[in-house]
Amino acid sequence: MNDLNSLTQNSHFDEILKVDGKIKPIWILLVDGGPDENPRHMKNIYQYCKMFHAFDLDYLSIRTHAPGQLAYNPVERSMSTLSQKLAGITLPINKFGSHLNSQGQVVDSELAMKNFRYAGEVLCTLWERDLIFGKPVITQYIDHKNTSFNDVIFPGSEKESNNESNVPWRWLENHTKMCTYSLDIKKCEDRSCCLPNRHEEAAILLAENNGFLPPVTKGKDRHFLNPLHILEYCDKLKIPRYNAHCHFISSSTYSYLCCSECNVYFPTLSIVAQHKKNQHPKRRGRPAKQKKVFTNSVDNFLVPA
Ligand SMILES: [Zn+2]
Ligand SMILES: [Zn+2]
């Protein structure tokens, strides 16, 4: 997330990230499933929400590859050339003198940081030497991990003073669609909460599905459909539930991940628990309603010819 913030401040990326000098209003990010990016982890979800708010985006969609699809991930394939460069090289570890004693323990942490910085900068120079798929590689050594977007204030956050994330749960539920392999964030209609959409046309199209891109959907021929095509041409009443067509999630797991009170689907049990705690506080402790069982079948989803 820090990287995304610094990219917006680097003029190299203005053509991709900005229009008329302002950050583009709609972002679709394809990320790998690593712990610092995966859109299923709560810590990342909060960070993506803060970034969405700080950049005044209209819509943010973060997508990751489902299991078995890593080979199709262009990011993974690009990164492999960086790992290749590391094979067979030795980075200098004691440029400014040894920071270790004879047992290999660090005895001078300041010197260790200086040496580490030097090795890191050498690596940056090595990595940025060649293009990847014709694109320049821009590297930067970062001394310490600083967290971006910590000063973002959400409407209503003052009411949840015990919430360390600063993202109120109510805001989260009103603006996000959390799924196993994706996270979508939208603006709401309440002007005391969100600024008006900057790209009105896209907002009108997304309004067809409550402001969100439709879920991953299989057509009658079992091929996955283009979500924009679904919004424009398909019968909205036949749009399946989120993740219902994801064959990695069995119908029993799917049922577990739906709230027993309101039946809304969430990607993990801990998010279901947090949802219940915040949205149904009075009803906690009562016997759960009978759960519906969902199937991953195609549900007669028709695409017009
Ligand atoms: Zn809002
Ligand atoms: Zn619920």
- 122 inside domain: yes
- 26 inside domain: no
Interval between CA 157 and ligand 1 midpoint (Å): 12
pLDDT in tens, 73-91: 777 778 888 888 888 888 8
Ligand nearest to the CA of 52: 1
- 254 inside domain: yes
Interval between CA 170 and ligand 1 midpoint (Å): 10
Q: Which domain holds residue 233?
A: 215-305
Q: Residues with beta carbon < 5 A to ion ligand 2?
A: 259, 261-262
- 258 inside domain: yes
Mean local confidence (pLDDT), 24-43:
86
| Number of domain units in the chain | 2
pLDDT in tens, 185-223: 999 999 999 999 999 999 999 998 889 998 888 778 878
Interval between CA 282 and ligand 2 midpoint (Å): 12
Ligand nearest to the CA of 284: 2
- 132 inside domain: no
What DSSP letter does each residue of the chain carry, written as one string? -HHHHHHHT-GGGHHHHEETTEE-SEEEEEE-S-TTT-TTSHHHHHHHHHHHHHTT-SEEEEEEPPTT-GGG-HHHHHHHHHHHHHTT----S-TTS--B-TTS-BS-HHHHHHHHHHHHHHHHHHHTTS-BTTB-------SS---TTTT---TTGGG-TT-TTSS-HHHHHHHEEE-SSEEEEE--S-TTTSPPPS-HHHHHHHGGGTTSPPPP-B-TTSPBPPHHHHHHHS-GGGPPPTTTT-TTS-HHHHHHTB-TTT--B-SSHHHHHHHHHHH-TTTTTSPPPPPPP---S-TT-----
Given 127, 150, 167, the domain boundary residue is: 127
Ligand nearest to the CA of 259: 2
Interval between CA 266 and ligand 2 midpoint (Å): 10
Interval between CA 280 and ligand 2 midpoint (Å): 7
Given 127, 143, 158, the domain boundary residue is: 127
Interval between CA 24 and ligand 1 midpoint (Å): 18
- 139 inside domain: no
Given 92, 127, 162, the domain boundary residue is: 127
- 97 inside domain: yes
Mean pLDDT (the chain, rounded): 83
- 301 inside domain: yes
User: Is ipTM strictly over 0.90?
Assistant: yes
